[in-house]
Structure 1
Amino acid sequence: MTVLDYTPPAGDIRTLVHRHAQQWPERAFLLFPETGRSLTYGALWDKTQHYGRYFAALGLTKGDTVSFMLGNGQAAAELFLATLCNGCITSPLNPAAGQEQIEYVLEHSDTRVVFVSAAYREQVACAIEKMNRAVLLIDADVDQGPDWQMQPATTAPDPQLDGSDSGLLMYTSGTTGRPKGVMLSHRNLLAGGMNTARAHELSGQDRALCVLPLCHINAQCVTVMAPLVTAGSVVMPHAFSVSMFWSWVIDQRCSWFSVVPTIISYLMHHEHPAGDAELRQALAGVRFGRSASAALPPALHAGFEEKFGVAIVETMGLTETAAQVLANPMPPKRNKYGSSGLAFGTEVRIVDRQGNTLGQDEEGELMIRGDCVMAGYYKNPQATAEALEADGWLHTGDLARQDADGFVFITGRLKELIIKGGENIAPREIDDALYAHPAVIEAGAIGIDDEHYGQEVVACVKVDPQSGVTEQELIAFCLGKLGRVKTPKNIYFLKELPKGPSGKVQRLKLVDQLKSGQVI
């Protein structure tokens, strides 16, 4: 495959892995820095057959749901891909979701088997005890894999798959009620990976660093599926480490990485032992970094590129679109700070509340159509009908505008919009202003009830403890950038802001904390 060839390489993931194993049996696909192990494409196919024989022994058949709750590593990566290749549906569990949500997801997803590491065994076992049906729990080491406690079948299944078969069942964060199960087919997953590859001009020579959790769509479709469709490779440590990040990039010869704004902020505030100049020189072979899952403040974007000499490509995706929707062009083509970029492999439009397409720079809801768009929400026809139009257009719930060059700017969420005295205020604008202050590591603006204005603007921040910055200093800083109406009335200092698995600040949880007095 060349850098210019971005036609779908296969109709389903099983066929794709098998073809790669035949064409590039000795090419490394997965590398695990803590153990020094690697998995070639040939070995990956063998692993899928190995898991398939055990799946057959368990009585699993095409369409059955398999879950896992593991940290990143060899076991999680193998389970994720082996489940897909054997015709089952993979439904990873998020340890950060909370016990109530884990119990709901296990029940709702119709999961038959859960693979779990020692760190989460008690949590999952408690959830299974409350269920009204039998679910098998299998212990698994993050590096060594499952403790099967049984003999495998003599042959692995040979499911007949096509692009319409379900492959991944991912649950949304559920910040506004019960989480919804997003159904992604093999076609959706391959399209999501291919859209990422097209946007970032990936080839088989590229190597990605995956530090985001495999229980999230970003890691699954961006830093696993995109290299898979292009026959590239992935370095997968157990978890993000600010002190090890650059060592992994350099020592493993990674050409790109995918992160979230929170990680970018942490890297900016961490002093590397080698010093900035020597580190910049060592990073000369890195093509780019990719930022997604939350808006990247322009000041943080520019500061990172200046400090490390690595271009950051801002992007935007959703679980419902297999991660990839928008991306800025690759350097040296023009990027626009503050924009999520252009559509790659999808159609986008901005609409008003009546569904009419809006003009240049008019703000409305972002809608998306393409092969990456989900099949629907599992066992939830009402939510599916509300999200998906009959002609395939998906309602994202994101407020956006599109400029004359086709660049899309996400301005907020319809449900997060702050309405103060009749004026609509996007929280992101306030976040961006706060991130421009050198002491701010994390920021999240929210609206709280106010008897005079309907809502008032406040913000929560995590700051560098050595800075000594005060609330009044940050308010004055915002006043100069935002004006009086948008400047937060109060700014609360937290040790950590609540975030989802992708690193996105969860504003509704901030509101709950404020109401309960936890941030004061």
Structure 2
Amino acid sequence: MTTAIPIANALSYVHGASSQPLLGETIGALLRRVAQTFPQRPALVVCDQQVRMNYRQFDAEVQHVAAGLLALGLEPGERIGIWAPNRAEWVLLQFATARAGLILVNINPAYRAHELEYAINKVGCRALVLPRRFKSSHYLQILDDLIPERHESRPGELQSRRLPALRELILLDEQPEPGMRRWSELRVLADEAALSRLAEVESGLDFDDPVNIQFTSGTTGAPKGATLTHHNIVNNGFFIGEAMQLTEADRLCIPVPFYHCFGMVLGNMAAVTHGACMVIPGEGFDVLATLQAVAAERCTALHGVPTMFIAELEHPRFHEFDLSSLRTGIMAGSTCPIEVMRRVVNEMHMRDITIAYGMTETSPVSFQSIPADPLARRVESVGRVHPHLEVKLVDELGHIVPRGVPGELCTRGYSVMLGYWDDRIRTAEAIDRGGWMHTGDLAVLDDEGYARIVGRLKDMIIRGGENIYPREIEEFLYTHPAIKDVQIFGVADQRFGEQVCAWIQLREGCTTSVEELQHYCRRHIAYYKVPHHIRFVDSFPMTVTGKVQKYLMRETMERELKPAETVDG
């Protein structure tokens, strides 16, 4: 995929040299080219909606949705929010907004009134697309709190004191609702005049135009709106697909959420840039629906975070499904135990599965393994640097550290976002004068250019002056036969500053004790890395995308431990 240029002085700097040039086209131009090349190839299958489209049909539907949006009076550069789970309309809107010069704003389907209000007002959404409900979220009831006068409004004339920029509500439902348009109306609005207007708008678009805003799920402070361009997303999707060796013959099962980069870039864009088929099992992740989709649609690729793959492997009906069509996919989001990876390769037939690393602000992938990498490399590392990107690891003074020494991962290149929407201060904090995006992740580069993520700067534990990287201890504890999953983090301690804490999920039918685990650790790792506090839990607090929220665990433990003084174990 890339060649990591060797550095004579063995500093932690790599550049993804590549003979494959960057794609210089907008998302709309890309889709048109792919649809002309593979008109009859399947483009989109949405199992629970019974939707099937080939690329010719998909391109035509995107065109009509784009024209319909412009016919509403939306202007290029304006923002339109999508507050919905995985549906066919989400994918169509992703490509239609890009074609119409609009900026799609991804809104987490789990957001409630306060979070929704913040997101819409932060970026000034002119329109919002939504279903009636998803899981426990009753969207229309939530909107009633924000737009109490909605039932007296006509479509396009919303008046809301709390959402002053919002003018249009588009409902993903055919049942009428006062003050809201139905999704099907967009096609009706796409008349000859609207299509002519669309052609005019498209001719003036540039691949460096902003096309997408995604809110980062920070653990402190208000969410930031990472603003991405056509160039960011098209190229990252393309090179992700290249690492997976995708072709038009592939069918990619995407059970991860679209509102996050994993779904819309590693999934949708990776598929479309290669003429592959997007297969959507359902609105949200469901183990059985995913297994059924892979088997029924003969999917060749599957995405997921490690907990998704674990859930699939351990489902009681797992062996009923023929998954032999699978070849590749991406596992990302958190550490994968090597035993889980072996089972994915052997029992799910995913011999070419890859590992990817990145962040929303870099479109998102910076490192990815390839099928030729040994299995151990695909577990111990996140692969090598992506094409056309630079990465360096720096210390607290900003100096590049030697190979093998942990440092903050910084990346530079086409993938770096334009910035945080309407937030120059936090943009300047993240992207320095040299154009380097500071990720906040601690990594180690080896002599061959493979990267290991050893933690977050804020997650690094400093116990009595010793720097401790949680991932190292997690990897070790995965070797214990009773442990299914583990998370390591630091908690405040009066004597040592911080102590190591472990939250552990045990395998079904297995038992152990705090004392046994501490003894196991003392036999194999340095005394200061042995978890001082151990809790056995049934689950970890997680985001919708499957990322573990260690800060919530830390807060829980520190509340629990506050009355008692900690002592060294």
* Aligned match of 2:171: 139
Deviation at 1:241, TM superposition (A): 2.1
Q: Contact 1:441–1:463 at 8 Å: present in 2 too?
A: yes
* Aligned match of 2:12: none
Query: Following superposition of structure 1 onto structure 2, how do residues 75-224 of structure 1 map, counting pairs within 5 Å?
Result: 75-97=89-111, 99-119=113-133, 120=137, 121=139, 122-127=141-146, 131-135=162-166, 136-141=168-173, 146-147=182-183, 152=189, 154=191, 155-156=194-195, 157-158=198-199, 159=201, 160-224=204-268
Deviation at 1:89, TM superposition (A): 0.6
Deviation at 1:38, TM superposition (A): 1.1
Are 1:17 and 2:31 an aligned pair?
yes
Q: Contact 2:327–2:350 at 8 Å: present in 1 too?
A: yes
Deviation at 1:488, TM superposition (A): 1.7
Note closer, same or farther for the CA distance 1:437–1:247 as it changes in structure 2 (3 Å cut): farther
> What's the secondary structure of 2:281's corresponding residue?
coil
Larger displacement relative to structure 2 (59-68 or 428-437) = 428-437
**Aligned counterpart for 1:289 among listed residues 329, 338, 348:** 329
Deviation at 1:300, TM superposition (A): 3.2
Deviation at 1:414, TM superposition (A): 0.5
Deviation at 1:306, TM superposition (A): 4.5
Amino acid at match of 1:209: C
Deviation at 1:449, TM superposition (A): 0.8
Are 1:315 and 2:356 an aligned pair?
yes
* Aligned match of 1:227: 271
Could you list the per-position Cα deviations for residues 96-155 of structure 1 after superposition, in whole angstroms to 9, with x for gaps in the alignment? 355533332121021111111111412344355672504233221499994466861532
* Aligned match of 1:493: 536
Q: Contact 2:369–2:382 at 8 Å: present in 1 too?
A: yes
Could you list the per-position Cα deviations for residues 145-166 of structure 1 after superposition, in whole angstroms to 9, with x for gaps in the alignment? 9446686153232322111110
1: distance between equivalents of 2:132 and 2:478?
38
* Aligned match of 2:549: 506
Are 1:43 and 2:74 an aligned pair?
no
Q: Contact 1:96–1:500 at 8 Å: present in 2 too?
A: no
> What's the secondary structure of 1:244's corresponding residue?
helix
2: distance between equivalents of 1:308 and 1:483?
37
> What's the secondary structure of 2:403's corresponding residue?
coil
**Aligned counterpart for 1:270 among listed residues 315, 321, 324:** 315
> What's the secondary structure of 1:485's corresponding residue?
helix
Amino acid at match of 1:95: P
Q: Contact 1:205–1:232 at 8 Å: present in 2 too?
A: yes
> What's the secondary structure of 1:234's corresponding residue?
strand
Note closer, same or farther for the CA distance 1:114–1:268 as it changes in structure 2 (3 Å cut): same
> What's the secondary structure of 2:288's corresponding residue?
coil
2: distance between equivalents of 1:506 and 1:111?
29
Query: Following superposition of structure 1 onto structure 2, how do residues 355-504 of structure 1 map, counting pairs within 5 Å?
Result: 355-504=398-547
Deviation at 1:6, TM superposition (A): 4.9
* Aligned match of 2:9: none
Q: Contact 1:74–1:143 at 8 Å: present in 2 too?
A: no
* Aligned match of 1:343: 385
Deviation at 1:171, TM superposition (A): 0.7
Note closer, same or farther for the CA distance 1:97–1:477 as it changes in structure 2 (3 Å cut): farther
Note closer, same or farther for the CA distance 1:309–1:450 as it changes in structure 2 (3 Å cut): same
1: distance between equivalents of 2:119 and 2:482?
39
2: distance between equivalents of 1:141 and 1:456?
52
Deviation at 1:74, TM superposition (A): 0.9
1: distance between equivalents of 2:277 and 2:409?
33
Deviation at 1:209, TM superposition (A): 0.8
Deviation at 1:245, TM superposition (A): 2.8
Note closer, same or farther for the CA distance 1:517–1:110 as it changes in structure 2 (3 Å cut): farther
Note closer, same or farther for the CA distance 1:471–1:111 as it changes in structure 2 (3 Å cut): farther
Aligned residues: 512
Q: Contact 2:64–2:190 at 8 Å: present in 1 too?
A: no
Q: Which has the higher contact order (CA 8 A, sep 6+)?
A: 2
Note closer, same or farther for the CA distance 1:351–1:115 as it changes in structure 2 (3 Å cut): same
Note closer, same or farther for the CA distance 1:284–1:182 as it changes in structure 2 (3 Å cut): same
1: distance between equivalents of 2:91 and 2:58?
10
Q: Contact 2:326–2:348 at 8 Å: present in 1 too?
A: no
> What's the secondary structure of 1:482's corresponding residue?
coil
1: distance between equivalents of 2:95 and 2:339?
38
2: distance between equivalents of 1:351 and 1:271?
46
Deviation at 1:408, TM superposition (A): 0.6
Deviation at 1:249, TM superposition (A): 1.8
2: distance between equivalents of 1:41 and 1:124?
35
Note closer, same or farther for the CA distance 1:438–1:216 as it changes in structure 2 (3 Å cut): farther
Amino acid at match of 1:28: P
Could you list the per-position Cα deviations for residues 420-468 of structure 1 after superposition, in whole angstroms to 9, with x for gaps in the alignment? 1111111222322343345444432221110011011112233445434
Note closer, same or farther for the CA distance 1:252–1:437 as it changes in structure 2 (3 Å cut): farther
Q: Contact 1:195–1:324 at 8 Å: present in 2 too?
A: no
Are 1:331 and 2:372 an aligned pair?
yes
Could you list the per-position Cα deviations for residues 469-494 of structure 1 after superposition, in whole angstroms to 9, with x for gaps in the alignment? 44444444444443432122222233
Q: Contact 2:24–2:231 at 8 Å: present in 1 too?
A: no
Q: Contact 2:312–2:318 at 8 Å: present in 1 too?
A: no
2: distance between equivalents of 1:465 and 1:141?
42
2: distance between equivalents of 1:173 and 1:142?
33
Q: Contact 1:64–1:112 at 8 Å: present in 2 too?
A: yes
2: distance between equivalents of 1:416 and 1:97?
26
Amino acid at match of 2:361: E
Structure 2 stretches lacking a partner, 5+ long = 1-17, 148-159, 564-569
Query: Following superposition of structure 1 onto structure 2, how do residues 56-75 of structure 1 map, counting pairs within 5 Å?
Result: 56-75=70-89
Task: State, as a whole percentage, how many aligned pairs show the same letter.
Answer: 29
Could you list the per-position Cα deviations for residues 389-423 of structure 1 after superposition, in whole angstroms to 9, with x for gaps in the alignment? 33322111111111011101111100111111111
Larger displacement relative to structure 2 (360-369 or 96-105) = 96-105
1: distance between equivalents of 2:54 and 2:438?
39
What's the Cα RMSD here? Answer: 2.8
Q: Contact 1:8–1:194 at 8 Å: present in 2 too?
A: no
Amino acid at match of 1:375: L
> What's the secondary structure of 2:252's corresponding residue?
strand
2: distance between equivalents of 1:98 and 1:417?
32
Larger displacement relative to structure 2 (348-357 or 447-456) = 348-357
Amino acid at match of 1:386: E
Note closer, same or farther for the CA distance 1:133–1:35 as it changes in structure 2 (3 Å cut): closer
2: distance between equivalents of 1:273 and 1:466?
19
* Aligned match of 1:245: 290
Q: Contact 2:298–2:323 at 8 Å: present in 1 too?
A: no
